[in-house]
Amino acid sequence: MNIENDARACRAATRQIAALTSEGKNALLQSMADALRADAAKILEANATDIRNAQARGIGAAMLDRLRLDDARIEGIADAVRHVAGLPDPVGQVTRRETRPNGLVVERVRMPLGVIAMIYEARPNVTADAAALCLKAGNGVILRGGSEAIESNRAIAAALQRALEAAGLPRAAVTLVEDLGRETMLALIRLDGIVDLVIPRGGEGLIRFVAEHARVPVIKHYKGVCHLYVDAAADPVLARRLLIDGKTTRPSVCNALETLLVHADIAERFLPDAAAALIECGVELRGDQRTRALVPQAKAASEADYAEEFLDLILAIRVVDDVDAALEHIRRHGSDHTEVVATEDDAVARRFVQGLRSAVVMVNASSRFSDGGELGLGAEIGISTTPLHAYGPMGLKEITTTKWVVVGDGQIRS
């Protein structure tokens, strides 16, 4: 097994995927979903092996849960593939059309990116999800999952590849990397000109490794340090609702809140009640002096707490003098992921939205909506916190590009 040969085979296969009609791609995805259901017993058996190996290596309960499959989860994986089949096809869409003064008809037409390498950990569902999204957008995909899920990933990929074969398409369009050594991953992310994009998903260490060593373009987000700023003109009931939803419903995800900023003029009215509600939900509070004067239960926040993605029931709090101080705090400590303002003052809302470069900026809505599905993309292949190509949640369009198609009747420039 040589990763460059594998990637070249995937690239060659991509030509046939790119040439499929929308109907052809949708039929392929439906038959992949069928194959996943038909292989449920095999996939569960493979998963049991992964679980046994993980337990033998003493892997933690959270990781085990992400790894574990059951009938319902396999059903869910197949349903997600069918859902992608039902999404609109971005390929072939004309994003710009103009007739030039010399009669040239100039169009920009959406086309697949090419070969996308996914590098991920633990969750075996990513194997099917990413393959479905990449194929739907006409791309080939190279899947490099974690060693802890290798048997599950192999069983899932086998089902997907059988569906490719049944459709007369090359298996290499969905390529699973079986050699999980670091050297092979390193070679993969340096295949400039063969692989068009790398999307790493997982812990910050993995993502930094990929970003540091890749020669292929990488779309990534390191972390989500999401802020809620409660303005002086906020509706305190609404603000508290956003706070509890953002912090407590799923603290382990990247669009959960990590920091609360409160305007000094509303702090006395807002903070003690909000803190009581948070504490009732089991949230540990870490605040600055002004916060602790109002919320004695809060521990003292360190400077590092304000840049921390806790991924846990912990919240950093600071009282600020105005919206500009809030913006300054977010610019200094934020991760360009998602920020929320609670205010009834349109001028403040505008200032907040315009003053930030974050990928998602929200007014009076929970940070938990920062998700491709919730924002209307239909599905999500990743989130980007660097502005090039895609910023924020990425759907099908974000794994395509546009080419120029120019039609003339003999125009020359000289």
Binding site for its own copies (CB under 8 A): 18-19, 98, 100, 104, 106, 111, 113-114, 192, 196-197, 211-212, 215, 217, 235, 238, 241-242, 244-245, 249, 349, 353-354, 357-366, 368-370, 374-376, 386-389, 391-393, 401-414
- Tell me which residue of 312, 366, 314, 317 sits closest to 338, measured CA to CA: 366
Q: Sort 163 into a burial class: Cβ within 10 Å, 0-12 / 13-18 / 19+.
A: buried
Q: Looking at this protein, which amino acid is placed at residue 283?
A: V
Residue 299 backbone phi and psi in degrees, to 5: -75, 170
To its own copies, the closest distance from the beta carbon of 240 in angstroms equals 10
To its own copies, the closest distance from the beta carbon of 96 in angstroms equals 8
To its own copies, the closest distance from the beta carbon of 110 in angstroms equals 11
Task: Report angle CA 51, 57, 60 to the nearest 5 degrees.
Answer: 70
To its own copies, the closest distance from the beta carbon of 3 in angstroms equals 19
Pick 29 or 195: Cβ nearer its own copies: 195
Q: Sort 185 into a burial class: Cβ within 10 Å, 0-12 / 13-18 / 19+.
A: buried
Q: Give Cβ neighbours of residue 148 (< 8 Å, ≥ 6 apart).
A: 50, 53, 54, 57, 59, 63, 67, 121, 122
To its own copies, the closest distance from the beta carbon of 49 in angstroms equals 36
To its own copies, the closest distance from the beta carbon of 365 in angstroms equals 3
Q: Give Cβ neighbours of residue 22 (< 8 Å, ≥ 6 apart).
A: 89, 91
Pick 36 or 199: Cβ nearer its own copies: 199
To its own copies, the closest distance from the beta carbon of 412 in angstroms equals 4
Question: Beta 174-176 vs 299-300: how paired, if at all?
Answer: unpaired
To its own copies, the closest distance from the beta carbon of 151 in angstroms equals 33
To its own copies, the closest distance from the beta carbon of 391 in angstroms equals 5
Pick 67 or 260: Cβ nearer its own copies: 260
To its own copies, the closest distance from the beta carbon of 349 in angstroms equals 8
Pick 82 or 389: Cβ nearer its own copies: 389
Pick 49 or 411: Cβ nearer its own copies: 411
* Cα radius of gyration rounded to whole Å, the chain: 24
Evaluate whether 140 touches 134 at the Cβ level (below 8 Å). yes
Q: Which helix (H) or strand (E) holds 370?
A: none
Pick 61 or 304: Cβ nearer its own copies: 304
Pick 152 or 370: Cβ nearer its own copies: 370
Inter-CA distances, 126 with 74, 92, 215, 251, 284, Å: 12, 26, 24, 21, 32
- Token pair, residue 227, equals 């802020």
Pick 202 or 217: Cβ nearer its own copies: 217
- Tell me which residue of 246, 21, 1 sits closest to 142, measured CA to CA: 1
Q: Looking at this protein, which amino acid is placed at residue 332?
A: R
Pick 29 or 394: Cβ nearer its own copies: 394
Pick 60 or 193: Cβ nearer its own copies: 193
3-state secondary structure 281-299: CCCEEEECHHHHHHCCCCE
